[in-house]
């Protein structure tokens, strides 16, 4: 049961992290290679996305880090913090997820 709860929590965290067009674009940019937060901001601006505050990029990147989708590390050569993809592809098995949700509902409603 605890494994299901962990999977559910992780899925919730991933879904929350990807529940934003900016964060989805950040994820796609991370797949292209590691960048600084400024590098991500510049790429977003090139693609026509409006960024009002630089801090919002940090917040969005941190949500992706917390979800385990990207990693944050210090690049010794560049002497700066960079963010890069931890994974090569994101695939959602919605059928399996919906079946899991049905099982969870039945477990909770059982007498």
- Do 61 and 83 touch, CB atoms closer than 8 A? yes
Q: What is the pLDDT of residue 30?
A: 93
For residues 81 and 79, what is the distance between their CA atoms, to the nearest angstrom? 7
CA-nearest of 65, 74, 66 to 30 is: 65
The shares of helix, strand and coil residues in the chain, as percent rounded to the nearest 5, are 60, 10, 30
Average pLDDT, the chain: 80
CATH number of the domain encompassing residue 78: 1.10.10.10
Number of domains in the chain: 1
pLDDT, tens digit (0-9, with 9 covering 90-100), for 38-89: 999 999 999 988 888 888 999 999 999 999 999 999 999 989 999 999 887 6
Q: What is the extent of the structural domain holding 102?
A: 2-109
pTM value is 0.73
Farthest-apart Cα atoms in the chain, separation: 60
Mean pLDDT across the stretch 3-15?
68
């Amino acid at each position: 049961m605890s494994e299901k709860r962990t999977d559910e929590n992780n899925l919730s965290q991933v879904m929350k992290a990807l529940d934003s067009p900016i964060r989805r674009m950040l994820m796609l940019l991370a797949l292209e290679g590691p960048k600084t937060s400024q590098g991500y901001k510049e790429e977003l601006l090139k693609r026509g996305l409006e960024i009002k505050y630089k801090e919002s990029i940090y917040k969005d990147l941190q949500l992706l880090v917390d979800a385990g989708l990207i990693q944050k590390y210090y690049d010794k050569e560049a002497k700066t913090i960079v963010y890069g993809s931890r994974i090569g592809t994101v695939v959602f098995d919605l059928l399996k997820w919906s079946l899991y949700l049905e099982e969870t509902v039945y477990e909770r409603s059982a007498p």
